[in-house]
A = this chain, B = another copy of it.
Amino acid sequence: MNRRNFVRSTAVIGAGLSLPFSTTLASGTKDELRIGFIGTGLRGQGHLDAIAKREDCRIVAYCDVDPRMLDRTKELVSAHNGLRPAVYTGSEEAWRVMLAKEDLDAVIISTPWEWHVPMAVAALEHNLYVGMEVGGAFSVEECWELVHAEEGSRGKLFFLENVCYRRDVMAVLQMVRAGIFGELVHFQGGYQHDLRAVKLNDGKQPYGGGVEFGEKGFSESKWRTQHSVRRNGELYPTHGLGPVAMMANIHRGNRMTHLTAMSSSSRGLHDYIVGHPKGGPDHPNARVRFALGDVVTTMIQCQNGESILLQHDTSLPRPYSLGFRVQGTKGLWMDVNQSLHVEGSSPAHQWEDAAPWLAKYDHPLWKKYADLATGAGHGGMDWFLINSFVEHAKRGEHPPIDVYDAAAWMVITPLSERSIQQGSAPQSIPDFTNGRWVNRIPSFAIQEDY
């Protein structure tokens, strides 16, 4: 209690200060983390539910503008005994009131993409430990703003990229660190997910049933689809890039230097509207011209010579696949065929089932906590994400996925847009660490406790 009051008062005092380097919130480990939620749509509800199940967190408040989502959240909260969080709503600025009024240690931001950075910056000004959901940025400047906000805060930015915690991805990271693939030279990843029924629905259910979006949509179709109307680029880079960035030691002895992007034609969403029983050629949305190419491919060069290929593919009928490929001088793993080849172990020139390798190199965290993670979102990986966030936040520790990672992964979006606008011209990727990537060392999933 005393500790929390101490933190609170220094937070108030420090709100106007700008510190040259990030520091920890406080020494020692908090018994309880006081958390607020900005955004309780489906993703925020998932996080809130995960946090509510924990003994070491107290949900102090939450905030949203959508009455239907607030109803759902209220229902969720009532299913947990003893929760009495304050609710902030009624204005697009209600979250600012929550940040000003509530005594918080940490905040989790799960809002439409365009709100991520302004909200994170404000929360950092309150010296909070900030969990920010993923998405792409809108400008290079916005990414710098996020970096500068954290560098001037006693708070921290934990970028909530859950795929870094996927079981196979973490096993492959262990294999990479054990040298199984030799020196790495090439990576692939992406976001290949048929989101047509997410981007277009009936305004009542979150998935499918119609071809509405924007004001007439519900959940993600309310805000996400408009990005497909206006923008053409790698709009959602981090699920594919984050895991391989960790394997490539980006910002830990390596960095991304430049990229070039190319877009296919844009047909999928229009065809879906025209072909849907609730749509058709005369539906008003059949006249919408979607800017987003159905398949956007981005190539990224790294300082140490590696290439990274990203693919964004969310408007066509296709099976879900993040398209991972991790390739080095001794072999490679691909997830689309769930196979790998390791020289000297696999039969020459042949694929081998990846499963026994993934089991052998199962990450210690998964070995320890797999039972607890069962039933958590996205195959359990969300449990590890939230656990890592909470345990780091309780200790005020530097996040394993930090503000530099967030900035460099998110900046792929505006740079890919610019590259496509310029006929695939290469774009420099800023060094958001200002040279600190040279000496930083890996911290993600190094220790085995959280």
Which A residues are within 8 Å of any B CB, using their own CB? Answer: 182-183, 185-186, 194, 258, 260, 262-268, 271, 293-295, 297, 299, 301, 304-307, 309, 313, 316-320, 327-332, 334, 336-337, 341, 343, 349-351, 423-426
Nearest Cβ distance between residue A415 and chain B, in whole angstroms?
13
CB neighbours of A331 from chain B (8 A): 317-318
Interface class of chain A by DSSP: loop
Is B349 a contact partner of A319 (Cβ separation < 8 A)?
yes
Is A424 a contact partner of B301 (Cβ separation < 8 A)?
yes
CB neighbours of A351 from chain B (8 A): 319
Alpha-carbon distance between A267 and B186 when the two chains are bound, in angstroms: 11
Query: Which one, B267, B327, B328, B426, contacts A183 given CB within 8 A?
Result: B267
Taking CB as reference atom, which chain B residue is nearest A295? B186
Nearest Cβ distance between residue A325 and chain B, in whole angstroms?
9
Alpha-carbon distance between A341 and B321 when the two chains are bound, in angstroms: 12
Is A299 a contact partner of B297 (Cβ separation < 8 A)?
yes
Is B424 a contact partner of A423 (Cβ separation < 8 A)?
no
Taking CB as reference atom, which chain B residue is nearest A342? B317
Is A299 a contact partner of B336 (Cβ separation < 8 A)?
no
Taking CB as reference atom, which chain B residue is nearest A259? B424
Nearest Cβ distance between residue A449 and chain B, in whole angstroms?
35
Is B295 a contact partner of A318 (Cβ separation < 8 A)?
no
- Supposing A349-B319, A425-B426 touch, asked if A306 and B258 sit within 8 A by C-beta, the answer is no
20 contacts between A and B (CB under 8 A): A185-B265, A185-B295, A260-B260, A260-B426, A262-B307, A263-B307, A264-B307, A271-B329, A294-B329, A297-B299, A297-B307, A299-B299, A309-B309, A318-B331, A318-B341, A319-B349, A319-B351, A334-B336, A423-B426, A425-B425
CB neighbours of A336 from chain B (8 A): 334, 336-337
Nearest Cβ distance between residue A290 and chain B, in whole angstroms?
12
Alpha-carbon distance between A317 and B299 when the two chains are bound, in angstroms: 22
Query: Which one, B258, B268, B293, B317, contacts A423 given CB within 8 A?
Result: B258
